[in-house]
Amino acid sequence: MPHIPLPEGVPGPRGPMLFRPEVAPPMSELAEVLMRGPSTLTLAERELIGTYVSARNDCRYCQTIHGAVAAHYLGATEEQERLVRQIKSDPSTAPISPKLKALLNIAGHVQQGGKQVTAEDIAEARRQGATDLEIHDTVLIAANFCMMNRYVDGLATWTPDDPDFYRERAAGLAQRGYVGSSSRSYLCDSQKRLSGTGQDRRSLHCLEAPPSPLSSRPEESWAFAHPR
């Protein structure tokens, strides 16, 4: 059970983002830029970095959903799902490029702590062809997942068990992206679909009004944070 009353039927970080709608725009935008924005790293490579860090942080929701998104980008076969599992347990023996191995090594050190990233980790990534921007993004993706994993588990959010749930949601994330998948209407629609009725108290507060007296209009707080 979550540590605070979150809307029911909304998995992982989307529950607390509905509870506190002001934080959803910046958190979703950061994920969107890092994981889906223009980059010389592929979509699958970036999701694999997020998956690997989440596995090391023992966050079941994050490693399962981002592993499913990575597998989706790679072709959504059982073989790709096996590859994701192999990368989570030991990237050094997985059939992936030396460059991705070097970036996963950086990500694993970021997960342990910023100071654990050594000049040698960086030099190896450079030898394998990684650019400054790719190294920057790898560090920030890993750091961002150290936030998201703690947000998800630190509030004991809902983590579904059914593997098909993750496959289906991964396809949705790949299509709509992280900003699109955090919109209020989308979340309330999926919540209604999942719960079947949408009639319980927490569902209603999701549909009608946010629970906090301070969190009235997320769009406004976003505008407030971004004066033109």
Partner 1 sequence: MPHITLPDGLPGITGPLAFRTETARPMRALAEFLLRGPNTLSSADREIIATYTSSQNDCHFCQTSHGAAAAHHLGGSSELASNFALISEIKRDFESAPVSAKLKALLNIAGHVQQGGKRVTTEVIARARKEGATDTEIHDTVLIAAAFCMYNRYVDGLATWAPQEQEAYIPMGAHMAHEGYINPPAQKPATHPETVTA
- Rounded Cα distance, 126 and 136, in Å: 12
Q: How far apart are CA 14 and CA 211, in angstroms?
A: 15
The 81-110 site mask, x for binding partner 1 (CB under 8 A), equals: -------------------------x--xx
Q: Which is nearer to partner 1, 171 or 222 (CB)?
A: 222
Work out whether the CA dihedral 146, 148, 153, 158 comes out positive or negative: negative
Tell me: does residue 117 bind partner 1 (CB under 8 A): yes
Smallest separation (angstroms) from partner 1 to the CB of 79: 31
Per-residue binder mask for partner 1 (CB under 8 A), 136-175, x = binder: xx-xx-xxx-xxxxxxxxxxx-------------------
> How many residues in the shown chain lie near partner 1 by CB under 8 A?
59
The rounded distance, in Å, linking the Cα atoms of 80 and 157 is 27
What is the distance between the alpha carbons of residues 16 and 32, in angstroms, rounded to a whole number? 18
Sign of CA dihedral 159, 162, 163, 164: negative
Contact 54, 149 (CB under 8 A): yes
- Residue 34 CB, nearest distance to partner 1 (Å)? 6
Segment holding 24, helix H or strand E: helix 24-36
Comparing CB distances to partner 1, the nearer of 20 and 167 is 20
Instruction: Give dist(CA 178, CA 77) in Å, integer.
Output: 23
Encoded one letter per residue, x for contact with partner 1 by CB under 8 A and - for no contact, window 46-65 reads -----------xxx------
> Is position 18 an interface residue for partner 1 (rule: CB under 8 A)?
no
CA 169, CA 136: separation in Å to the nearest integer? 28
Q: Contact between 207 and partner 1 (CB under 8 A)?
A: no
Query: Which residues, 181 to 200, sit near partner 1 by CB under 8 A?
Result: none
Binding-site ranges for partner 1 (CB under 8 A): 3-5, 16, 19-20, 22-23, 25-27, 29-30, 33-34, 37, 57-59, 106, 109-110, 113-115, 117, 119, 122, 132-133, 135-137, 139-140, 142-144, 146-156, 211-212, 214-215, 221-222, 224-227
